[in-house]
């Protein structure tokens, strides 16, 4: 589905991000994965190359909020692969801190990565995506619609991601660039795996499909929205959460 497409995927070293990298490689894309640390990037590359030595995948660990560092990533990718078709802004920082216990340092960390990182990466990507009529995809969350009982900054940042997604979709449509977001529900990530059965079972009962999501469920949504099958879809927040909405 992504034959000869070139994708840059942030937060690509574990969980949903790593699975999305894997699904894109399986569908014949060339992928540059981005991680927060060089060692996690190298580990992810090692895992993927063991699975299939022919995968065309590279990795970097830039500061996603630095326009200079992100420009270097995009320019290097363009030199290596000739073009860039897809940007997935997946990196993010979650939080469950009660509001009275937030520090300004934690505020800056969450907002910088979850909002500024998406803004800077998208800004840098636009000249390259204009050439290919490419795609920007952002990772939102089900809490961007419902909120959550603690950790107000995480859903706040995802509300902002939704607004950025919808506004950029309107602004960039005339350039042929599509902008969408995927909003995962409860997904089988490391954090969820560490929850007790007493916490997980009630969550599963609240989902009509009767299970929590897998990273591949989310990765497949990114695959669809990156492919030519979604050429007439932009400005959408695609909820992948097993819920039945009225």
For the chain, the distance separating the N- and C-terminal CA atoms, rounded to the nearest angstrom, is: 31
Phi, psi (deg, nearest 5) at residue 227: -90, 170
Which of these, 155, 77, 79, 56, lies nearest to 115 by C-alpha position?
155
Calpha distance 165→147 (Å, rounded): 18
The closest of 223, 138, 129, 231 to 183, measured between CA atoms, is 138
- Cβ within 8 Å of residue 224, ≥6 positions away: 230
DSSP bridge pairs for 89: 138
Q: Six-digit token pair at 74? A: 């995009």
Does the active-site annotation cover 107? no
**Residues forming the active site:** 154
């Amino acid at each position: 589905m992504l034959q000869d497409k070139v994708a840059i995927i942030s937060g690509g070293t574990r969980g949903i991000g790593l699975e999305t990298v894997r699904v894109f490689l399986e569908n014949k894309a060339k992928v540059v994965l981005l991680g927060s640390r060089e060692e996690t990037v190298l580990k992810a590359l090692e895992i993927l190359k063991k699975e299939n030595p022919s995968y065309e995948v590279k990795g970097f660990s830039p500061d996603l909020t630095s326009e200079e560092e992100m420009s270097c990533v995009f320019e290097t990718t363009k030199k290596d692969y000739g073009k860039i078709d897809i940007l997935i802004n997946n990196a993010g920082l979650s939080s469950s801190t009660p509001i009275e216990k937030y520090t300004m340092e934690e505020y800056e960390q969450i907002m910088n990565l979850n909002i500024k990182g998406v803004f800077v990466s998208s800004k840098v990507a636009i000249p390259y995506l204009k050439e290919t009529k490419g795609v920007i995809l952002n990772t939102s969350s089900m809490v961007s619609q419902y909120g959550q009982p603690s950790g107000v900054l995480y859903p706040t940042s995802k509300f902002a991601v939704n607004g950025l997604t919808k506004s950029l979709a309107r602004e960039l449509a005339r350039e042929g660039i599509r902008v969408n977001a995927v909003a995962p529900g409860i997904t089988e990530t490391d954090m969820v795996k560490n929850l007790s059965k007493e916490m997980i079972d009630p969550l599963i009962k609240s989902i009509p499909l009767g299970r929590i999501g897998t990273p591949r469920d989310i990765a497949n949504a990114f695959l669809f929205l990156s492919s030519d099958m979604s050429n007439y879809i932009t400005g959408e927040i695609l909820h992948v959460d097993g819920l039945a909405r009225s």
